Structures are given as C-alpha cells and as structure tokens.
Amino acid sequence: MSSRWITETLHEKEGFITSYRADKVLYEENTGQQQLVIFDNSLFGRMMTLDGATQVAERDEFVYHEMMTHVPILAHGSAKKVLIIGGGDGGILRETTRHKSVEKITMVEIDPAVTDFCKTHLPMVSAGAFDDPRLDLVFEDGTIFVAQSKEQYDVIIVDSTDPIGPGAVLFEESFYRNAKARLAPGGVIVTQNGVPFLQAAELKSTMDKFRRLFTCAHCYLASIPTYVGGPMAMGWGTDDEFLTAVTVETLRHRLATAGFQTRYYTPEVHKAAFALPRYVQDCFPV
C-alpha cells in the first residue's frame, strides 16, 4: 500500500508545492468553514492543514507561537488585557497564559470545530490553556467582534490563516481600523503576514494599511521550518514608537520577572527580529 502525501497548495499558482507524508490521518472533514486535515508525520510530528495550507506542526510550532506572543507582550511591558483573533489550535493562548501579569485573555475563533478538533488531536499545542480561568472564548467572526466590541486591549494578536477563504477578511483595512479602535493607549497589534520571499504582496498590502493607521508600522521576522520559503513576517502596528526601542536589558528583566523558559524567543532574538534584509524592506520602502 502506497503512502499518502498531504500536499500544501498555497503557492501552487506560482509553481511551487510542498508535500508531507501522512503516516496516519487522524481526522479529515469539511467543517462547513474550511477543509481540515490532521495527520502524523515522522519528521514534524502531528500536523494540521486548512484548505491546503499548513497551520501547525508539533515539532516547530513553538517558534511561531513564542514570537507572535512574547514579542508584543514583553515589548509592552505591562499588558493586562490580550485579544487573540483566530488561533484555534491554542498555541498563542498557551504562550499568553504563561504571563501571569495578564489579567484577561479574550480569544475570538470563527470555527468552533477547529478548536474542538485541536483539543482532541493536538492537545500538546494548547497544553491545557483552554482551562485557564482568565480566558473568555468567543466563537464569532473576528471582524464582527472588533467592529462591535467596546473593550480595549493592550495587545492584539491576529493569528490568522493566509488571505484565502474565511481568513481573507482579516487582511482588510476595515478590520485593521476597527482593531486599532480596540487598542488601549500604548497598545500594539501583531499579525501573521506570510513569507515575504514568496508572499511579498501580502506583507506590502498590510504595511500600506498599517502606515495609514499607525504612527509606527513595521514588521519582524522568525524562521519556522514548515512555513517554507524563508523567514515569516509578523506585522507590527502601534502608536507608541518606543515599543520597538525597548532595550535588551529591559527585555531580559521582563522575561526574568515573568519567570518562564522559552525555546526560541530570547531578548537578543527579539531585538534582532526587527532588523530586516533588504528584500523585505523593499516591501514597504520609506
């Protein structure tokens, strides 16, 4: 019996695909919102794809989740309320709960099936975070939530899929504008913006919109093996320009005070992540 291969089709139109051998398929279904597959791979462990795009892999998920979470929270320095848009696997939530100084975490996920499946088949990603008493889990379209909510948050993390399917609306300027209205003074929003080497237009589009909305519009990078094509960009929007000027020494103190160990994130990596190669800078030239 031949092995089944799960093919990532995100860059198929550009002539590039990636395949992972599925040693065992644990779940496969069209949820009504997205086509979801959860499977085991001998190299990357348990993996999940949505609509032909890799979302999470057990072996390297810590890179993405630590950098999406700890960079904004530690740069802010006194975040009490955090809003997560998307992130149904619970990885961003897990890393946010490690900050005991955070008093409230609101997580807005459009598809309850994704969260249910991940609790069952990817429990190592959330690691019990869904049981944290600080969590307010809301199943709703994130664009509707930020448009209608009156709460304000110190940090907003948009853990979206790529701009296809239901995730496309999370890249529109109206969403970013409403999300900004949910930021408390001195707050910061970070977004998943793909791999600039292959998805330069995606990063450029977000940065153009951020520049119209925020005093400080930037991005930072992290290398995640299953997100192929080079380092991934995380968009950064805030009206507090000093958040990117925080020193390594201050970040070391804040991380030590938080009292937990990381596997990828360090204060030095935090600072270096904002140093962009020229081809990334060219996505949003000054």
Q: pTM for this one?
A: 0.93
286 pLDDT more than 80: no
Q: What is the dihedral of CA 79, 149, 111, 16, to 10 degrees?
A: -70
Domains of the chain are 4-57 (2.30.140.10), 61-281 (3.40.50.150)
Our CA angle for 76, 231, 177, nearest 5°, is: 45
Q: What is the structure's pLDDT at 87?
A: 92
For 188, other C-beta atoms within 10 Å of its C-beta total: 26
The label of the residue with tokens 């100084």 reads 101
pLDDT digits (tens, 9 = 90+) for 50-100: 888 888 999 999 999 999 999 999 999 999 999 999 999 999 999 999 999
The catalytic position among 159, 208, 239, 282 is 159
Q: What is the dihedral of CA 13, 200, 33, 191, to 10 degrees?
A: 170
Tokens of 109: 């996920």
pLDDT digits (tens, 9 = 90+) for 176-194: 999 999 999 999 999 999 9
Q: CA-to-CA distance for 86 and 110, rounded, in angstroms?
A: 7
Please state the φ and ψ torsions of residue 37, each to the nearest 5 degrees: -135, 130
Query: Where residue 216 falls among pLDDT bands split at 50, 70, 90?
Result: very high
Does residue 159 have an active-site annotation?
yes
Q: What is the mean pLDDT of the chain?
A: 92
pLDDT, average across residues 226-253? 96
pLDDT digits (tens, 9 = 90+) for 149-167: 999 999 999 998 665 555 5
- Residues whose CB falls within 8 Å of the CB of residue 33, separated by 6 or more in sequence, listed in order: 110, 111, 113, 114, 165, 166
